[in-house]
Amino acid sequence: MKTVRLGRSDLESSALGLGCMGMSEFYGDADEAESQAVLDRAAELGITHLDTSDLYGRGANEELVGRFLARHGRDDMLIATKFGILRDPDGPVGSTYDRVLDNSPAHARAACEASLKRLKVEAIDLYYVHRHDPAMAIEEVVGGLADLVREGKIRAIGLSEVSVKTLRRANAEYPIAALQSEYSLFAREVEEDVLPTCRELGITFLAYSPLGRGILGGQIRSVDDLAPDDLRRNAPIFSAAHLPGNLALVDRVRTIANRHGATPGQVALAWLLAQDVVPIAGTKRVRYLEENAGAATLTLDAEDCRALDQALAPGAVGGAGKWSTVPQPAEAR
C-alpha cells in the first residue's frame, strides 16, 4: 500500500489507517480474538497506521493494541494514540457524560507514561491532543508535548478537532505533524478553512469517521441494523426524520460504485484518498477491513468526483454536523 509522510516529521503512514476504537466500546459488543485477527490482517494488507486513545475503554483499547504489538513486533507499525480527556473510572462503559478535559503538561506526561505501558512500547509515534481545552493556551499544551518529543517518549505531535486559529498558534510553537478531524462525504465542514490551512502549513490531514459513521458502507439501512448499545443510534443522521433521505444519498454513491465494481464505502474512501487525506477507517471485522483496503486501488475519474460533489454537497445530508462520542469544546464546534 502507498505510504505518506506525516507533515514535516519523519513518520511514514500507510495511505489508509485503522481506527481501533470500536474494538473496545461504543459500537456494540467486541471480540478479542476477532480484533486480533483484524490487526493481523491489517498488517498483511500494508495498513500500518493504528489509531487508538487512552479514552477508548479507559485504556483497554491501548492494551489490546499492545497485545498485538507484543506478538507482531512494532518496527513496521505506526502507533497513534491520544490524551486529554478524563473519564470517571467508576462511570458506565460507553457513557458520554463522565468526561472533562485536562491538557496540562503534567497530565500529558502522566498520560503518556501510562499509554507507553499499556502499549508496551518505548515511544509513541504520533501523540494527539484528543480535544483542546480552550481554558489552556495551546502554546503551553504543545510546549509540554515538545518536551516529550525531545525526551524520545513521542515522535510527533497531532491535534484533533481544533480551529484554524488554534492550529496556526500550535504550529508556530512546535511543528504539528497531523490534524485529525471528522471528514467524509457526509461531513464536509473542514473544506471551508481547516483543510486548506493544513495544506498551507504542510500538516497532514487525517479523517476520522470517513464512512459517515458507517452509513456510507452501504450495509446500514435501518437503525435496527445497529446494536442496541451502539451510540450511533443517537446520531442525528440516523434519526427517523433524516435516515430515509440520507439512504437515498448513499444510493447515489452506490450508483457510482456499481460502475467500478466497487462498494459505496470504497468509493467514499477513494474520494478522500484522491485528496491526499489519510482516512482512519474503523472496523472490528476482517471482511470490512478487506473491503476498506480495496479502496486503495480504486481510481475515481473527474466525472465521478463531480457527481459526488454535487449529490453530497454541503447541506444535502440530513442531520449533518458535529456529533461525537467525546466532548466538543466550544471552539471546535
Percent of the chain with pLDDT over 70: 86
Round the average pLDDT of the chain to a whole number and report it. Answer: 89
- Of 27, 56, 127, 128, the catalytic one is 56
Residue 28 DSSP one-character state: S
Residue with cell 524520545: 152
Which of residues 31 and 144 earns the better pLDDT score?
Answer: 144
Residue 98 has what pLDDT? Answer: 54
Q: Where are the alpha helices (DSSP H) in 187-242?
A: 194-201
Q: What is the pLDDT of residues 37-82, one digit of tens each?
A: 999 999 999 999 999 999 998 899 999 999 999 999 988 999 999 9
Q: Is the pLDDT of residue 196 over 90?
A: yes
| Residue 70 cell numbers, joined | 507484543
Q: Band the pLDDT of 265: cuts 50, 70, 90.
A: very high
Q: What is the pLDDT of residues 266-295, one digit of tens each?
A: 999 999 999 999 999 999 999 999 999 999
All residues at 6 or more sequence positions from 151 whose CB lies less than 8 Å from its CB, including other chains: none
C-beta atoms surrounding 58 within 10 Å: 16
**CATH code given to domain 3-213+274-298:** 3.20.20.100
Q: Where are the domains of the chain?
A: 3-213+274-298
Average pLDDT over residues 139-144: 98
- 56 given a catalytic annotation: yes
